[in-house]
């Protein structure tokens, strides 16, 4: 008997107390927990997202005014002294339009090695959805976000959230928007560890700085 058959036979023997006719649906699961915790306006949800992101030491910025987004991204890269920036293939062109040409654009391609990426200063991406109650942004590797590794190896990640259609209140609301077939990366604050005497230290392996831009309707455009 191969191990698959062996383990399956053991499971069936172990479950002799379960009636043969019982279906999984007959084991009750009451989903009486909340879909959303609290009752908020859309603006208040965005504020809560900003608060929770900041609480986990992400740097939060707002780009409400029309066309303020490119200037903000350019400034954040300059403040950081970035000499190169990883660019997902589907990033809206306007987002980097104010970034000077002296900052090298590194396109996200399959040929890019981890060593190449290690030499890149920053990365700019969009996101799939953001969760206010937990202060989380979720990336799903769509064209405006690129491969998983480009938001991992560089030390500085700028993530743009479109407040009009990408912010939800809760974890249940986020999951129903996501496609499980796509690789998902949920990010809540920068990389952190508490392994040394429970002192929280930002950044061990992932980006040590996470900057989140809450982009208003006119500034973000459509990706």
Partner 1 sequence: MPAFPQAADASTRNTQLRANLRHATHTIRAKRAAAVAELDDWSRLRAAGAAIKDRTLRHLDQYLEQLESAVTAAGGQVHWAADADEANRIVTELVRATGEREVVKVKSMATQEIGLNGALATAGITAYETDLAELIVQLGDDLPSHILVPAIHRNRGEIRDIFTEKMSQWGRPAPEGLTDAPADLAEAARLHLREKFLNAKVGISGANFMVAETGTLVVVESEGNGRMCLTLPETLISVVGIEKVVPTFQDLEVFLQLLPRSSTAERMNPYTSTWTGTTDADGPRAFHLVLLDNGRTDTLADTVGRQALRCIRCSACLNVCPVYERAGGHAYGSAYPGPIGAILTPQLRGTQSELDASLPYASSLCGACYEVCPVAIDIPEILVHLRERVVEGGPASVRGTRTVIKPAKGHAAERAAMRAARWALDHPRLLRTGQRLASRTRRFHPRRLPGPGRAWSDTRELPKVPEESFRDWWQRTRGGSGTGSGTEGRKKTT
Subset of residues 164 to 193 that bind partner 1, contact rule: CB under 8 A: 171-172, 175-176, 180-193
Q: Which string of x and - marks every residue 122-161 that binds partner 1 (by CB under 8 A)?
A: ---------x-xxxx----x-----xxx--x---------
Give dist(CA 92, CA 74) in Å, integer. Answer: 14
- Which of the ranges 71-79, 81-89, 121-129, 199-207 carries the binding residues for partner 1, by CB under 8 A? 199-207
Residue 138 · residue 184 · CB < 8 Å: yes
Cβ at position 106, least distance to partner 1 in Å = 16
Tracing tokens 């191990």 back to the chain, one arrives at 3
Residue 188 · residue 177 · CB < 8 Å: no
Residue 41 has what DSSP assignment? Answer: -
Which residues, 91 to 120, sit near partner 1 by CB under 8 A? 110, 114-115, 118
CA dihedral 137, 110, 179, 217 (to 10 degrees): 50
Cβ at position 111, least distance to partner 1 in Å = 10
Complete edge-to-edge strand list for the sheet that includes strand 167-168? 136-139, 129-131, 167-168
Does residue number 39 form part of the binding site for partner 1 (CB under 8 A)? Answer: no
Of the pair 164, 188, the CB lying nearest partner 1 is at: 188
Residue 134: strand, helix, or coil: coil
Does residue number 59 form part of the binding site for partner 1 (CB under 8 A)? Answer: no
Does residue number 17 form part of the binding site for partner 1 (CB under 8 A)? Answer: yes
Of the pair 39, 101, the CB lying nearest partner 1 is at: 39
Of the pair 42, 201, the CB lying nearest partner 1 is at: 201
DSSP string, 101-115: TTSEEEE--TT--HH
Of the pair 10, 105, the CB lying nearest partner 1 is at: 10
């Amino acid at each position: 008997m191969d191990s698959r058959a062996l383990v399956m036979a053991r499971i069936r023997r172990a479950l002799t107390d379960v009636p043969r006719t019982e279906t999984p649906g007959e084991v009750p699961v009451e989903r009486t927990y909340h879909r959303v915790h609290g009752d908020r306006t859309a603006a208040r949800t965005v504020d809560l997202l900003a608060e929770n992101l900041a609480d986990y030491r992400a740097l939060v910025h707002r780009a409400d005014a029309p066309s303020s987004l490119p200037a903000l991204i350019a400034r954040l890269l300059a403040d950081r002294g970035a000499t190169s920036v990883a660019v997902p293939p589907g990033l809206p062109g306007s987002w980097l339009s104010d970034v000077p040409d002296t900052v090298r654009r590194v396109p996200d391609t399959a040929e890019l090695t981890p060593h190449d990426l290690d030499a890149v200063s920053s990365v700019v991406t969009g996101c799939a959805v953001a969760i206010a109650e937990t202060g989380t942004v979720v990336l799903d590797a769509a064209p405006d976000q690129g491969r998983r590794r480009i938001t991992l190896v560089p030390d500085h990640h700028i993530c743009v959230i479109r407040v009009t259609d990408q912010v939800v209140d809760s974890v249940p609301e986020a999951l129903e928007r996501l496609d499980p077939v796509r690789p998902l990366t949920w990010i809540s604050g920068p990389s952190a560890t508490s392994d040394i005497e429970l002192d929280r230290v930002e950044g061990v392996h992932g980006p040590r700085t996470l900057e989140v831009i809450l982009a208003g309707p006119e500034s973000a455009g459509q990706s």
